[in-house]
Amino acid sequence: MTILQSRQSMITKTSVLWINFVITILLTLAFLLIAGHWDFIFIDAVASPANVRALLEQMSVTQKTIHAWSTATLDVVYPFAYGSLFAGVALRFFSKYGVYLALPALLAIPVDLIEGVIQVLALTETADVLELKAYITPLKFGLFIIGFIVALAGWAKWLFLRLKT
């Protein structure tokens, strides 16, 4: 068994899929609670550099600090959780083309991490490379959405086959 087959086998296990699902849900809720409690919008959802700069201008030092810490901690784990979940579902339920269908979810991981670095640099006023968000953020969302749709299709296939028997 090669290393790739071993990793592929690991992320397709039922227990690992459930763990990634629970972590993804919990982190999603954590982001919502943090943004609600400290009353700010996560700049992850904003691709326009000008709009991001405008949001940063409106944020207090505390909001920027909380956002930076959330991005540097939770948003490092988040892409690994959802990326592994979506890729694991693709690999498990689409045996013939699963490797190809898992690619968008797997590519979303480094893209999301790069976006996080760009944001932390801006939030901490270390560097302004926000122009890159005009490309990185839509790419991240595109890869995420494709991975999510593939995962939904995989779960639908599983449910259909389960109900059929």
Residue 165, domain member (yes or no) = no
Q: What is the pLDDT of residues 54-69, one digit of tens each?
A: 999 999 999 999 999 9
Q: 8 is in which domain, residue-wise?
A: 3-155
- DSSP per residue over 47-85, as a string? --HHHHHHHHHHS-HHHHHHHHHHHHTHHHHHHHHHHHH
Domain membership of residue 46 (yes or no) is: yes
Inside any domain, residue 25: yes
**Structure pTM?**
0.92
Q: Count of domains in the chain? A: 1
Average model confidence (pLDDT) across the chain? 95
Structural domain contains residue 163: no
* pLDDT-based confidence at residue 19 (cuts at 50, 70, 90): very high
Instruction: Give domain status of residue 8, yes or no.
Output: yes
Q: Is residue 160 part of a domain?
A: no
pLDDT reading at 2 higher than 70: no
* Average pLDDT of the segment spanning 136-162: 96
Answer yes or no: is 162 within a domain: no
Supply the Cα-derived Rg of the chain in whole angstroms. 18
For residue 72, tell me if it sits in a domain. yes
